[in-house]
Structure 1
């Protein structure tokens, strides 16, 4: 899981109403997408799904970072998790692993992490990775 309890306790931080977050991004006409990251977005799948649906209403891409692997998430018995994966655009999956850290990778920090094209994966019914070339 992406969340580091030693540096970011779950009971600290700022709390925002979901519609306030939506209102903030709607003030930015240059925005092309939203990113759900963490901590761990799949610890709050219902709230993240709400934001993702609002992003779709605004024709925005939905990019998610998770410390879980896609295959693990697909096995979770939670309809919010499954719908969030079904409607999102991209998922960077897997925990950051310092031993295989690579600062040359696009949008991720270690070689085990993948960028998954979720809509293509859904359409092809097989895992489709983002092609960096």
Structure 2
């Protein structure tokens, strides 16, 4: 897996101060995507053990709330092979860190074992470690700058742990509009 960028003190892609990790590779190719260069699976730099160590260490300070993984598409099956061990390590070494993933795949697609485009042997384990999943492709015609943590109104900010407990999608309290952005 390659990655395009790591932002070690990001406040835009989740609650609090976070590390944001932009993986490379995406087959969605959403019109109006803010990060088109990461569609290419070969874009950026190779993800290595040294990079993994840097990410894990970056999560340890008290002022860091957690990790956000975006892209590209972290839930492409080929990317899941590297994402899963990273998340397992974080859960073990930095259990206070919250984990968010942005995916163009919907919850329904990711949890459908017959959907081989995005559901592989690592998918369920990854989902079990998430706090928040922002799901759904970006749709330019549904772009809404007033939304928190998402770009278009079809996307959802899902509370993954509550969703897994209830068996039904539970939207996060962060799935609202940001009224503070009004002029």
TM superposition score normalised by structure 2:
0.65
More helix by share: 1
More strand by share: 2
Match of 1:130 in 2: 172
Check 1:18–1:36 CA distance in 2 against 1; reply closer, same or farther (3 A cut): farther
Q: CA deviation at 1:38?
A: 0.8
Q: CA deviation at 1:104?
A: 0.8
Count of equivalent residues: 133
Match of 2:132 among 82, 90, 93: 90
Check 1:2–1:119 CA distance in 2 against 1; reply closer, same or farther (3 A cut): farther
Q: CA deviation at 1:121?
A: 0.6
Match of 1:41 in 2: 74
SS at match of 1:116: strand
Q: CA deviation at 1:78?
A: 1.6
Q: Is the 2:56–2:90 Cα contact (8 Å) retained in structure 1? A: no
Match of 1:23 in 2: 54
Check 1:2–1:22 CA distance in 2 against 1; reply closer, same or farther (3 A cut): farther
Match of 2:104 in 1: 67
Q: Is the 1:34–1:61 Cα contact (8 Å) retained in structure 2? A: yes
- Does residue 7 in structure 1 map to residue 31 in structure 2? no
TM superposition score normalised by structure 1:
0.88
